[in-house]
Amino acid sequence: MVKVAIASASSALAREVIDTLVASKKHEVIALVRNVISNKSIFLVHSLQLAEIADLGVQDPAQFPPLPGVEWVQTTYEDKSELVRLFKGIEAVICFLPVHLDKDNAIQTRLIDASIEAGVRRYAPSEWATGVKLESSLDAMSWYAGKVEIAHYLEKLNEEKKVIEYTRFQVGTFTNYLAHPHKTTNHVHTIPFLFDFESQQALAIEGSQNDVIVWTTVQDIAGVVTRAIEYEGEWPVIGGITGTRATIGELLQLSEAIVGKPLKVQWLKKEDLEAQIRETGDLSLPDLRTATPEQVGAFLQAAPARILIAISRGAYDVTDEWNKILPNYKFTQLEDFLKTVWGEK
């Protein structure tokens, strides 16, 4: 049995992972919670695959369902000594904190420092998207800058000698988005991720048919994390999880073969999108506690173009370290998933 702490345990993806840990009947979970979230925030967060749902108000642990082996614990994340106490005897800390709301990465840095002081063996920073090429796309997706900054912090900590083992769980994007509006998850909310099978509409860059996106189901992410916790070997620093690696062209072909007609693609010019990014500069995800509907709408309108640019630069092409470590794990393939949801409709 492994004792695990989950930071930002109220997040949608964290809840999926917790459910899988509970189902394994092998582990003890300390689930750290702080705040609640509005319906508006759920929509905004998941439209960008920020599966680490934002914290917006004091949250009572009693609001969460009693689960075998899970203790819901309220914390502000502000008191390092409290975190050290909570992490005593913990084997691994898994973080789902929304990096765009962690000013100067203060909370996640504190979580890492407290983990080291408490003698925690392993830490998983809040990644859960994109791949190793994210850093070259921060001009387009500045809201993810905290992921890269925390990765550099961990690298520096282990520069002279290893003080904590860690892995950056990188998953591309959720295959489940392609099922929208059909429900294929217990907690993660979906909206179409550039490819809308219900309306048969898509957005893509002209000439992008060979651009790669890795699609991984929420269930496979939770399954791999659970097995990683049990894994006795050393965690890889880059922890890629690859469900299916597919080009945009291959996805469009699958759509036509399975649904029976092609997606209607709005082809955008790459140079126009890049010029727009240069002109507007960084795009910050608005503070969900105070954002107006207009601010939310403006962000949602601007974000898809930036995500397409990141895809074109390889940001959503993920490595497969955990696939290699877990060769017997059967990942849900993109074609099988699409057939299950959209076949013979």
**Over residues 138-154, mean pLDDT:** 96
Instruction: Pick the closest to residue 54 from 124, 104, 103, 116 (CA basis).
Output: 103
Question: If pLDDT is split at 50, 70 and 90, which confidence band does 318 have?
Answer: very high
Phi, psi for residue 323 in degrees, rounded to 5: -60, -40
Instruction: Pick the closest to residue 33 from 55, 53, 54, 8 (CA basis).
Output: 8
**What is the chain's alpha carbon radius of gyration, rounded to the nearest angstrom?**
20
Instruction: Retrieve residue 178's tokens.
Output: 């392609």
Q: Name the CATH superfamily, with its identifier, for domain 3-342.
A: NAD(P)-binding Rossmann-like Domain (3.40.50.720)
Measured in whole angstroms, the distance separating CA 72 from the mean position of its chain's CA atoms is 22
pLDDT at 289: 62
- Mean pLDDT for the chain? 90
Question: What pTM value is reported for the model?
Answer: 0.92
**Over residues 8-18, mean pLDDT:** 94
- Residue 337: exposure state from Cβ atoms within 10 A (0-12, 13-18, ≥19): buried
Instruction: Pick the closest to residue 343 from 255, 216, 262, 218 (CA basis).
Output: 255
**Over residues 32-51, mean pLDDT:** 51
The answer, yes or no, to whether residue 213 has pLDDT greater than 60, is yes
